[in-house]
């Protein structure tokens, strides 16, 4: 299972560092340090960073390098608004197309989220949670929509573990997932969209708190738009 190129290995490792928070928002990424840590030269590191820049995980400043992106509360609000629009579309399209196998797979993913939760495995929870939701989104058969949604999910991944950490939230997740599965079994798109929305709304509150608690007083610093600097 090893990647065919070093850039992909570097990319995978950098993603892991970002999700676990070992590379915290706002810190600069030293190419030499990353390269040495992974036992490669700086070239594949640079290419991996270009990918992450495109995904908005790091911001690039010419001749100054890459910095781990920070998510402002405004940014977060925007991400969730876009998710609302796009996930609703995905669910509306996906539900009528669902076959029983897919529903079963979704249900299995839900059980794995619960199992991971019971043994306190946060990484496992986020991974299976993502699987749970994207099995549904992907069922819409709209690859570009899936890809855009993945970008939006990625953007807040750093903070997602915080949500799962709260035991109250864990119960809530379990409950919401069960509701969603029931709606899918009934092929009830409208209800699925509604469940999905309330599920999302409950997490935005928790993640907002996480950001406000973590971000340094100085930094409302931008993750979003601009490539151009001057």
- Which residue of 145, 193, 210, 211 would you call a contact of a second copy, by CB under 8 A? 145
Ranges within 62-121 binding DNA (CB under 7 A) = 62-66
Q: How far apart are CA 186 and CA 180, in angstroms?
A: 10
Q: Which residues contact 214 (CB under 8 A, 6 or more apart)?
A: 25, 159
- Which residue of 10, 79, 98, 195 would you call a contact of a second copy, by CB under 8 A? 79
* The pair of three-digit structure tokens given for residue 214, joined into one six-digit string: 């973590």
Residue 2 found at the interface with a second copy (CB under 8 A): no
Q: Which of 115, 129, 142 is nearest to 196 (CA)?
A: 129
* The pair of three-digit structure tokens given for residue 221, joined into one six-digit string: 């610093």
Closest approach of DNA to the CB of residue 176, in Å: 41
Q: How far apart are CA 208 and CA 205, in angstroms?
A: 5
> Could you tell which of DNA, a second copy, none binds residue 171, using a CB distance below 5 to 8 A set by kind?
none
- Which is closer to a second copy, CB of 168 or CB of 225? 225
Give the total residue count for the chain. Answer: 230
Using CB under 7 A, which of the segments 15-23, 57-65, 120-128, 170-178 binds DNA? 57-65
Is the separation of the CB atoms in 168 and 138 below 8 Å? no
Is the separation of the CB atoms in 183 and 94 below 8 Å? no
Q: How far apart are CA 48 and CA 25, in angstroms?
A: 17
Residue 27 found at the interface with DNA (CB under 7 A): no
- Which residue of 13, 30, 82, 146 would you call a contact of DNA, by CB under 7 A? 30
Phi-psi region at 29: left, alpha or beta (left = phi > 0; alpha = psi -120 to 50): beta
- Which is closer to DNA, CB of 67 or CB of 165? 67
Is the separation of the CB atoms in 189 and 95 below 8 Å? yes
- Which residue of 24, 86, 105, 215 would you call a contact of a second copy, by CB under 8 A? 86
> Which residue's structure tokens are 């796009």?
86
Residue 198 found at the interface with DNA (CB under 7 A): no
Closest approach of a second copy to the CB of residue 122, in Å: 25
> Which residue's structure tokens are 């890809």?
147
- Which residue of 2, 101, 119, 143 would you call a contact of a second copy, by CB under 8 A? 143
> Could you tell which of DNA, a second copy, none binds residue 146, using a CB distance below 5 to 8 A set by kind?
a second copy
- Which is closer to a second copy, CB of 167 or CB of 219? 219
- Binding region for DNA (CB under 7 A): 4-7, 28-32, 35, 39-44, 46-47, 60, 62-66, 228
């Amino acid at each position: 299972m090893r990647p065919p190129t070093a850039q992909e290995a570097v990319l995978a490792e950098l993603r892991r560092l970002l999700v676990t928070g070992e590379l915290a928002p706002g810190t600069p990424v030293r190419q030499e340090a990353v390269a040495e840590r992974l036992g490669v030269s700086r070239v594949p590191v640079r290419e991996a960073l270009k990918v992450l820049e495109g995904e908005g995980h790091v911001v690039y400043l010419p001749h100054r390098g890459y910095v781990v992106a920070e998510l402002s509360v405004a940014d977060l609000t925007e991400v969730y608004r876009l998710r609302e629009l796009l996930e609703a579309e995905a669910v509306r399209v996906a539900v009528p197309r669902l076959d029983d196998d897919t529903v079963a797979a979704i249900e299995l993913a839900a059980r794995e989220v619960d199992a991971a939760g019971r043994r306190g495995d946060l990484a496992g929870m986020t991974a299976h949670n993502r699987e749970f939701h994207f099995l549904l989104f992907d069922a819409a058969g709209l690859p570009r929509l899936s890809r855009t949604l993945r970008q939006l999910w990625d953007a807040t991944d750093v903070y997602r573990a915080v949500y799962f950490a709260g035991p109250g939230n864990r119960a809530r997740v379990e409950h919401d997932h069960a509701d969603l599965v029931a709606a899918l079994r009934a092929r009830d798109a409208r209800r699925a969209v509604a469940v999905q929305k309330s599920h999302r709304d409950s997490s935005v509150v928790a993640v907002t708190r996480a950001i406000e608690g973590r971000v340094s007083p100085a930094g409302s610093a931008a993750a979003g738009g601009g490539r151009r600097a001057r």
